[in-house]
């Protein structure tokens, strides 16, 4: 086999594996299957998780649930949805707490814990890997 053919096959296999890993780790925003909300925009999700909005678009109260501090999933979520690094998020919440303008979302230990809490509370919203989604929750946004 020629070296160029072997290199081409190796590149194709690598790209395929990278694509499969990216899809398996896809980040999604979820609500309870009993929540009437079917879709949310990134700005709406950001407002909820930054404490700027305490309600879903239909007016129902919302409770945001976060992943554990300093986890890759949480860092990716805030970077992609709110365009903020962990350091910026820490500064943001320090200021909001100090000025009495809010408290950060409650933290849970894993995607499974977030999914379970969201499934049990129609007013909750969280984010998990797509692999953690089951029929008890509904995906309302794919994080890109």
- What are phi and psi for residue 27, nearest 5 degrees? -95, 130
For residues 76 and 72, what is the distance between their CA atoms, to the nearest angstrom? Answer: 6
User: Which CATH number fits the domain that encloses residue 43?
Assistant: 3.40.190.10
Q: Which residues lie closer than 8 Å to 87 by C-beta, 6 or more apart?
A: none
Question: Residue 2 falls within a domain, yes or no?
Answer: no
Question: Residue 4 falls within a domain, yes or no?
Answer: no
Instruction: Give tens-digit pLDDT for 43-101.
Output: 999 999 999 999 999 999 999 999 999 999 999 999 999 999 999 999 999 999 999 99
Other residues' Cβ atoms within 10 Å of the Cβ of residue 109:
10
Question: Residue 15 falls within a domain, yes or no?
Answer: no
Structural domain of 74: 26-142
Question: Residue 13 falls within a domain, yes or no?
Answer: no
Instruction: Give tens-digit pLDDT for 9-24.
Output: 444 444 343 343 344 4
For residues 61 and 124, what is the distance between their CA atoms, to the nearest angstrom? Answer: 9
Determine the pLDDT at residue 9.
41
Closest by alpha carbon to 124, among 64, 38, 60, 55?
A: 64
Question: Residue 7 falls within a domain, yes or no?
Answer: no
Closest by alpha carbon to 125, among 12, 1, 30?
A: 30
Determine the pLDDT at residue 41.
97
Is pTM beyond 0.95? Reply is no
C-alpha torsion 138→107→79→22, nearest 10: -50
Question: Residue 20 falls within a domain, yes or no?
Answer: no
3-state helix, strand, coil in the chain (%, to 5): 45, 20, 35
The number of domains in the chain is 1
Instruction: Give tens-digit pLDDT for 95-132.
Output: 999 999 999 999 999 999 999 999 999 999 999 999 99
CB 49 within 8 A of CB 64: yes
């Amino acid at each position: 086999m020629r070296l160029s053919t072997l290199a081409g096959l190796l590149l194709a296999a690598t790209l395929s594996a990278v694509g499969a890993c990216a899809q398996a780790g896809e980040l999604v925003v979820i609500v309870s299957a009993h929540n009437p909300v079917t879709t949310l925009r990134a700005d709406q999700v950001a407002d909820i998780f930054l404490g700027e909005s305490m309600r879903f678009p239909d007016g129902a109260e919302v409770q945001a649930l976060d992943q554990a501090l300093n986890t890759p999933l949480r860092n990716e979520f805030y970077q992609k949805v709110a365009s903020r690094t962990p350091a910026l998020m820490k500064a943001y919440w320090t200021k909001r707490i100090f000025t009495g303008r809010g408290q950060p979302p409650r933290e849970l230990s894993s995607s499974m814990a977030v999914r379970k809490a969201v499934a049990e509370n129609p007013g909750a919203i969280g984010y998990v890997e797509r692999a953690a989604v089951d029929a008890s929750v509904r995906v309302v946004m794919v994080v890109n």
